[in-house]
Amino acid sequence: MSRVTRLFRSAPAYPLLLPGMVWLAIFFFVPMYYLLDMSLRTGNLLDGFNQVYRFANYGDAIRENKEQFIRSIIYAASATALAFCISYPLAYVIAFRGGRYKNFLLMLVIAPFFTNYLIRTLAWETILADHGIVTSTFRSLGILTATDKLGFTSGQRLLATPLAVVTGITYNYLPFMTLPLYVSLEKIDKRLLEAALDLYANRPRAFMRVTLPLSLPGIFAGTLLTFIPAIGDYINAYLLGSTQTTMIGNVIQSKFLTFNDYPSAAALSFTLMAGIMVFVIIYARILGTEDLA
């Protein structure tokens, strides 16, 4: 009897999965299959690409673009770290001190997103221009001399340097970090903090033992939501970077669209995807999100 009721109760759940599953099947798994299939072919657009199961495509693609892979990881990681440093205090203030302005402040965080992605990035071109206020201020303060030495910039300018690319990525993905952090901070029960203080924890200690651990799900979601799109981003590197700052996304874009070298572009896409997947699994293990969420 009880088994039957259970069956009746759980049965409706499966059809509910259907739309999502169909969507995934058509727009993710099928394209994935074609991408995988393409990545093992050889040929060119004129004569067609023949399936020869050439796994060496992967080796070649990775070897030829090692530099861009490494650069992408470094840029994406730096941008994620930077976004975290900016977002955490921001989300904290909005969540704990926002009061009745909470919603307004949140809207301000998202406001830049009302503008097109490309336009936002192009705006940075203007902001960081060689003769612009920012660059000349940095230059006269000697900051550029320091960053030039560190290799973040070159030639006493900001535009077309690694610093500009990382800054651009950070800016463009900042809300992806801020919003999850805000959500996890906002739902923390304030009484837990009061309890910690009652038990003679000072404020920094209460933060380290209560707030930070409870916001881990937000940190996890935020870093992934920032890091994953950032590592594949190519607009920032294209508009704000130079030939020395190209990322793996630029390579894939030019191989697909300019050079029509579909197999190696597909191989690179797959490698990137696999790399991200491995990273996410390891990251999830370390942070142990199952217990947190």
Partner 1 sequence: MTNEPRGSRADIEALAFARGALTRRDFMRRVGLAGGSLAAANLLAACGGSVGGASTQNPGSSAGAVKYPHTVSPDWNWSNWTLYIDEKNHRHPSIDMFDAKYKTHTNYIEDINDNEEFFGKFQATLQAGQDIGRDMVTLTDWMAGKWVQFGYVEPLEWDILPNVKSNLLPTYHGRSIDPNDEFLVPWQSGLTGIGYNSELTGRDLTTVSDLWDPKFKGKVSLLTEMRDTFGLVMLNLGIDPSKCTTADAQKAHDAIKPYVDNGQIRAFYGNDYSNHLANGDLTAAMVWSGDMVQLLPDNPHLKFVVPDEGCMLWTDNMMIPKHAKNPYNAHLWMNYYYQPNIAALVEDWVNYICPVNGAADVLKAGDPSIGLQGDPKVADNPLIFPPKSTLDKAHVFKSLSASEETQFNTLFADLTGTA
CB atoms closer than 10 angstroms to residue 254: 15
- The pairs formed by 130-135 with CB atoms below 8 angstroms and a separation of 24 or more are 130/157, 130/158, 130/159, 134/158, 135/159
Smallest separation (angstroms) from partner 1 to the CB of 210? 47
Number of residues that bind partner 1 (CB under 8 A): 36
String of contacts with partner 1 for each residue 67-96, x by CB under 8 A: -x----------------------------
Q: Decide: is 109 part of the binding site for partner 1 (CB under 8 A).
A: no
Q: Decide: is 160 part of the binding site for partner 1 (CB under 8 A).
A: yes
What's the token pair of residue 217?
């799900």
When the beta carbons of 130 and 189 are compared against partner 1, the nearer one is 130
String of contacts with partner 1 for each residue 244-263, x by CB under 8 A: xxx---xx-xxx-xxxxx--
Smallest separation (angstroms) from partner 1 to the CB of 160? 5
Stretch that binds partner 1, among 73-81, 154-162, 166-174, 180-188 (CB under 8 A): 154-162
Smallest separation (angstroms) from partner 1 to the CB of 81? 24
Footprint of partner 1 on residues 28-57 (CB under 8 A)?
44-47
Smallest separation (angstroms) from partner 1 to the CB of 244? 6
Is residue 78 helix, strand or coil? Answer: helix
Smallest separation (angstroms) from partner 1 to the CB of 49? 11
Give how far the C-alpha of residue 91 lies from the chain's centroid of Cα atoms, to the nearest Å: 18
Question: Of 122, 127, 231, which Cα lies nearest the Cα of 176?
Answer: 231
Tell me which H or E stretch contains 183: helix 162-186
Binding partner 1 (rule: CB under 8 A), the pick from 155, 202, 212, 282 is 155
Q: Decide: is 115 part of the binding site for partner 1 (CB under 8 A).
A: no
When the beta carbons of 44 and 115 are compared against partner 1, the nearer one is 44
What's the token pair of residue 47?
């004569």
CA dist., res. 198 & res. 39, Å (int): 61
Give every CB contact of residue 128 below 8 A, 6+ residues apart in sequence. Answer: 134, 135, 158, 159, 164, 167, 240
Smallest separation (angstroms) from partner 1 to the CB of 32? 19
Q: Decide: is 239 part of the binding site for partner 1 (CB under 8 A).
A: yes
Stretch that binds partner 1, among 107-115, 149-157, 194-202, 214-222 (CB under 8 A): 149-157
- The pairs formed by 34-41 with CB atoms below 8 angstroms and a separation of 24 or more are 35/266, 35/269, 35/270, 36/266, 36/270, 38/262, 38/263, 38/266, 39/263, 39/264, 39/266, 39/267, 39/269, 39/270, 40/263, 41/262, 41/263
Q: Decide: is 64 part of the binding site for partner 1 (CB under 8 A).
A: yes
CA dist., res. 286 & res. 284, Å (int): 5
Which parts of this chain interact with partner 1 (CB under 8 A)? 44-47, 64-65, 68, 122, 125-126, 129-132, 154-155, 157, 159-160, 239, 241-246, 250-251, 253-255, 257-261
